Structure formats: structure tokens, C-alpha cells
């Protein structure tokens, strides 16, 4: 890791050097022989033959089960009655017990298969705020990078290393002694040709510096948190700012991409957004294709959904910390009747209708039941331009707090009325709404924007 105390007293240019040195080390871990081998494989591969895809998936599944039983004490015990060879088709996976998030967390030490040496750590936040540490083998990790880069290749990024990348993710590096009085909220990682923009300093008054630097840097790829890229897009649109560059592609991660996010981002940057799902735990990938469809990539794992749409994931790149029928706490909706029909893009991998966010991403109305993230997206779509950020918090069964960050010069009582009307339409006449104005909506410690805070769930969980 970076040496924080040296970093904090270094001038910004030297911080770039420190980041790049560290970047070089990470680069070697991520991009080695395994990466190059699989990248070549993945970009060549045809994904049109469903019989072949199913056969490969079965082989991968058996191999993961065998490995887990052999090297993970936890799975040696839970899978003792499962014989990999007797898994005759993917549906047989149902014979394997499901592992819940809390169970994984409590047993994590006996789930790991490898010693901590030569492994890559990854931390996940988790919905309850308790963090979880998983280990990837170097192989797993390089395969994952190869897969992601082959996905980007298919979206038109021929050379990921040479392309100028702008990344907005939850790391705080715009700090230290020399940061005071400076408007430079980014650092440069020369090892990966990547400018890292701090998402922790994106207060309204700083956004003009971000935009002017982007105009100067002219990135070919923009990566990162949905909320951060959306915030910039909205700023560009609301202020009629002229961007002097057009990226080749924008890849969003980590937060649920809703239609209003996509519309604003594509319109501000005149560039297509590609959505993807890949958790820090190492879940199988869901990626958006050139035809605009989300595919469940069955060559990276098995995704099942339970009756409430929660995903049970089995991932082929988790040889360090095997995930087998793990309830990851995120929800998706498969397209109806997909029947593995061929997509316009040529892939037979099943189509996912939507990635619906975390299982806890809903509010509750006694009259109308659960109101999910996608329904709230419709409310947000119609809200006036004077509102910059919105967050919904439910502490009581019959009351929702609506936190708003507004442009005070434009915001009127009429705007407030409009939001309450559309919320009443969604939640019914018996729900109370309280509007609270804030200068900025707080992000999580990891820098993520949470649109919905349902504190009722926490109350139920605790009781």
C-alpha cells in the first residue's frame, strides 16, 4: 500500500510519482501471462453456440466444486455429500446448499483456500456496513481483468493500455499538506495512463475545475461510479457547458445505473454508456453489449435468482475465496422468455432485463407495498431542474423524508409541490412526506451515493 505519511507531505507532482510507482506494482499483479493468454482467448471467442456454452459452464462448475472441496475447510464440510462428477447439468446446482452473506462473513477464514501470500485482497462494504475481505488468486484476478478488458474491446476500445482513461472511484488521494489552497482534485497514474479524479471533493463549487481539467486532458474512456459521472453530466447540461472532447465509451460501475442517469450522461458526453455488474466479492459478470442488451456471462459463472429476484452467484474466478450459490444481496430481473435466443450482437448468453440494485433498495408503503429503485427513478426523471440531488429516507412506516440539494436561486414552492405529487402517486394518500434541504447529500464512507435509505429494514433486522 501507499505510505500515507510520506504521501501526505509530498507536493502534488511527487504524489503523482508515488501513485505511478504503486500503479506499476499493481499493474504487474494484474497484467501478466495469464491475463494476456485469456484476453486473446476472450476476444476471439464466439458465443453463439448454446450447447457448447452450457457444456463449458458445466465443466467449469465441476472444477470449482472439486477445488473448493479439496482446499476450503468450509466447503469440504458443506459439500461433503456433493460429488462434482454427479452434477450432470446446471440445474443440478440446486442440490448444493445456498450460502447467505452473514454466513459467508462468519465463516470467511475457513472458506479461504489459499494462504495469504501471493493473493490479491478485495474489500466489500456490505449492506449492513460490516466489511468483508476476500482473497483472489493471481490467476483469478488476471482472468477477471482479461474478461473486463475483452468486454471493453468489444465496445470499441482496441488498446486499453494506451487509451487515456479518466477514473472516478471512491479513493481519496487529493489530500496532504499541498492540497490546501489547491484546486487540483486529480492525480495521474502513468503506469496505466489513467487520471484518477477524487469523488470526495465533487462539491458543486469545485465541479468547474473538474470540467476544465477534463477538457484539457480529453479522456478517451471514462470509468467509475454512476453517481459521480452523473453529477458531472448534470452540471454540464444545466450550465450549457461546451465539452471539447468526445470519449469513445463510458463504463459505469459500483452503483445501479438508472435510466435517468444514462440519459443525462449520454447526452452530456455525446457518448454511449456501457453498464456492467461485477462485485468486489468476484461475482460472475453481467455486461452490456453493443446492441444495448445486458448479458449474464455464463462463461464466468452461474447466476440463479430466488423468488424475490435476489441473485445466487457461483463464480468461476473465485478459487481464492469460492462463491458457490452465494446470496450476494443484489437483485436482477432476467428477460422473460429469453430461451437463449441469439442477441443482435451474436451472443447466446441469456439477457438480463435490468440490474435492480441491492435487495434493500426499496421503500415501503402500507397502501402500495414495496416501491423499488426503478419506480423512484421515474419520480426523479420528472423532477425540476432546480433540484441537483435527491435522497429518500424512510424511518417510519408512514413517513418518507426527501432530502434535496437545490439550486436556491431557482427552487420554488411549485417544485416542492411537484415532487410531493409524484411521490403521493407512488406511495398513496396516507403517506407523509417531509422535505429537508441540504447543501450536499452525504456519500458513504466508500464514496457511493445512496439514493434510498430504508431504515425500517434495519429495525426489522435488529428485532
State how far the Cα of 338 lies from the Cα of 332, in Å rounded to an integer. Answer: 14
Pick 209 or 334: Cβ nearer Zn ion: 334
Residues 150-179 interacting with Zn ion (rule: CB under 5 A): none
State how far the Cα of 421 lies from the Cα of 249, in Å rounded to an integer. Answer: 37
In 3-state terms, the chain is what percent helix, strand and coil (to 5)?
40, 25, 40
Please calculate the CA angle 407-412-416 and round it to the nearest 5 degrees.
100
Pick 30 or 152: Cβ nearer Zn ion: 152
State how far the Cα of 197 lies from the Cα of 422, in Å rounded to an integer. Answer: 35
State how far the Cα of 169 lies from the Cα of 226, in Å rounded to an integer. Answer: 9
Question: Shortest gap between Cβ of 282 and Zn ion (angstroms)?
Answer: 23
Pick 343 or 406: Cβ nearer Zn ion: 343
Q: What are 10's three cell numbers?
A: 509530498
Q: Alpha-carbon torsion 200, 206, 208, 210, what sign?
A: negative
Binding pattern for the stretch 233-272 against Zn ion, x by CB under 5 A and - elsewhere: ----------------------------------------
Residue 187 makes CB contacts below 8 A (sequence gap 6+) with 12, 15, 16, 19, 173, 174, 195, 196
Question: Shortest gap between Cβ of 345 and Zn ion (angstroms)?
Answer: 3
Q: For residue 68, state whether it binds Zn ion (rule: CB under 5 A).
A: no
Pick 284 or 329: Cβ nearer Zn ion: 284
Give the other-Cβ count within 10 Å of 369's Cβ. 11
Task: Identify whether the C-beta of residue 108 lies closer than 8 Å to the C-beta of residue 245.
Answer: no
By DSSP bridging, strand 452-454 and strand 387-396 are parallel
**Class of residue 420 by CB neighbours under 10 A (exposed 0-12, middle 13-18, buried 19+):** middle
Give the other-Cβ count within 10 Å of 71's Cβ. 15
State how far the Cα of 344 lies from the Cα of 209, in Å rounded to an integer. Answer: 41
Question: Shortest gap between Cβ of 114 and Zn ion (angstroms)?
Answer: 35
Pick 345 or 377: Cβ nearer Zn ion: 345
Q: For residue 348, state whether it binds Zn ion (rule: CB under 5 A).
A: no
Q: Which stretch binds Zn ion (CB under 5 A): 228-236, 346-354, 383-391, 429-437?
A: 346-354
Q: What are 383's three cell numbers?
A: 423532477
Pick 343 or 402: Cβ nearer Zn ion: 343
Residues 279-338 interacting with Zn ion (rule: CB under 5 A): 289, 291, 293
Q: Could you say which of 243, 280, 345, 441 contacts Zn ion (CB under 5 A)?
A: 345
Q: Which stretch binds Zn ion (CB under 5 A): 20-28, 239-247, 339-347, 445-453?
A: 339-347
Total interface residues for Zn ion by CB under 5 A: 6
Question: Shortest gap between Cβ of 275 and Zn ion (angstroms)?
Answer: 12
Largest interatomic CA distance in the chain: 68
Pick 184 or 345: Cβ nearer Zn ion: 345
Task: Identify whether the C-beta of residue 392 lies closer than 8 Å to the C-beta of residue 402.
Answer: yes
Q: For residue 390, state whether it binds Zn ion (rule: CB under 5 A).
A: no
Pick 289 or 404: Cβ nearer Zn ion: 289
Q: For residue 50, state whether it binds Zn ion (rule: CB under 5 A).
A: no
Pick 335 or 377: Cβ nearer Zn ion: 335
Q: For residue 342, state whether it binds Zn ion (rule: CB under 5 A).
A: no
Q: Could you say which of 228, 343, 376, 406 contacts Zn ion (CB under 5 A)?
A: 343
Pick 289 or 402: Cβ nearer Zn ion: 289
- How far is residue 64 CA from its own chain's centroid? 24
Question: Shortest gap between Cβ of 338 and Zn ion (angstroms)?
Answer: 11
Give the other-Cβ count within 10 Å of 229's Cβ. 28
Question: Shortest gap between Cβ of 353 and Zn ion (angstroms)?
Answer: 13
State how far the Cα of 284 lies from the Cα of 294, in Å rounded to an integer. Answer: 13
Q: Give the footprint of Zn ion on this chain (CB under 5 A).
A: 289, 291, 293, 343, 345, 347
Amino acid at each position: 500500500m501507499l505510505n500515507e505519511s510520506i504521501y501526505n507531505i509530498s507536493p502534488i507532482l511527487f504524489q503523482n510519482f508515488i501513485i505511478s510507482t504503486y500503479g506499476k506494482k499493481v499493474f504487474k499483479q494484474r497484467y501478466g501471462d495469464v491475463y494476456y493468454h485469456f484476453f486473446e482467448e476472450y476476444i476471439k471467442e464466439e458465443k453463439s453456440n448454446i450447447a457448447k456454452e452450457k457444456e463449458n459452464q458445466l465443466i467449469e462448475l465441476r472444477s470449482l466444486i472439486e477445488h473448493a472441496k479439496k482446499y476450503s475447510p468450509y466447503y469440504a464440510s458443506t459439500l461433503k455429500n456433493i460429488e462434482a462428477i454427479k452434477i450432470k447439468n446446471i440445474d443440478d446446482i440446486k442440490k448444493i446448499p445456498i450460502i447467505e452473506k452473514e454466513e459467508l462473513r462468519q465463516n470467511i477464514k475457513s472458506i479461504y483456500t489459499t494462504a495469504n501470500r501471493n493473493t490479491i485482497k478485495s474489500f466489500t462494504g456490505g449492506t449492513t456496513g460490516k466489511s468483508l475481505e476476500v482473497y483472489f488468486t493471481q490467476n483469478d484476478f488476471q482472468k477477471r481483468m482479461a474478461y473486463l478488458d475483452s468486454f471493453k474491446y468489444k465496445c470499441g476500445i482496441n488498446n486499453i493500455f494506451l487509451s487515456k482513461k479518466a477514473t472516478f472511484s471512491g479513493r481519496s488521494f487529493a489530500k496532504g499538506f499541498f492540497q490546501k489552497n489547491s484546486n487540483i482534485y486529480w492525480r495521474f497514474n502513468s503506469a496505466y495512463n489513467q487520471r484518477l479524479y477524487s469523488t470526495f471533493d465533487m462539491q458543486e463549487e469545485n465541479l468547474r475545475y473538474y470540467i476544465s481539467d477534463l477538457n484539457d486532458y480529453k479522456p478517451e474512456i471514462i470509468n467509475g461510479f454512476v453517481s459521480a459521472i452523473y453529477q458531472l453530466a448534470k452540471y454540464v447540461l444545466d450550465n450549457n457547458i461546451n465539452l471539447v472532447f468526445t470519449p469513445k465509451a463510458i463504463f459505469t460501475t459500483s452503483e445501479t445505473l438508472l435510466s435517468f442517469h444514462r440519459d443525462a450522461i449520454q447526452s452530456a458526453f455525446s457518448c454511449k454508456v456501457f453498464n456492467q455488474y461485477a462485485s468486489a466479492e468476484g461475482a460472475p459478470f453481467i455486461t452490456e453489449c453493443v446492441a444495448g442488451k445486458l448479458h449474464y456471462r455464463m462463461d464466468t459463472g452461474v447466476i440463479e435468482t430466488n423468488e424475490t429476484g435476489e441473485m445466487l452467484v457461483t463464480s468461476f474466478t473465485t478459487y481464492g475465496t469460492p462463491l458457490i450459490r452465494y446470496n450476494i444481496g443484489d437483485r436482477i430481473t432476467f428477460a422473460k422468455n429469453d430461451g437463449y435466443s441469439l442477441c443482435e450482437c451474436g451472443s447466446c448468453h441469456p439477457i438480463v432485463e435490468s440490474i435492480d440494485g441491492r435487495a434493500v433498495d426499496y421503500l415501503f408503503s402500507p397502501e402500495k407495498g414495496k416501491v423499488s429503485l426503478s419506480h423512484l427513478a421515474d419520480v426523479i426523471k420528472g423532477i425540476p431542474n432546480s433540484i441537483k440531488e435527491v435522497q429518500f429516507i424512510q424511518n417510519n412506516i408512514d413517513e418518507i423524508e426527501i432530502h434535496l440539494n437545490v439550486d436556491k436561486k431557482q427552487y420554488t414552492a411549485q417544485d416542492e409541490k411537484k415532487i410531493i405529487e409524484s411521490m403521493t402517486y407512488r406511495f398513496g394518500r396516507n403517506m407523509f412526506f417531509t422535505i429537508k434541504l441540504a447543501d450536499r447529500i452525504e456519500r458513504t464512507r466508500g464514496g457511493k451515493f445512496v439514493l434510498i435509505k430504508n431504515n425500517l429494514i434495519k429495525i426489522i433486522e435488529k428485532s
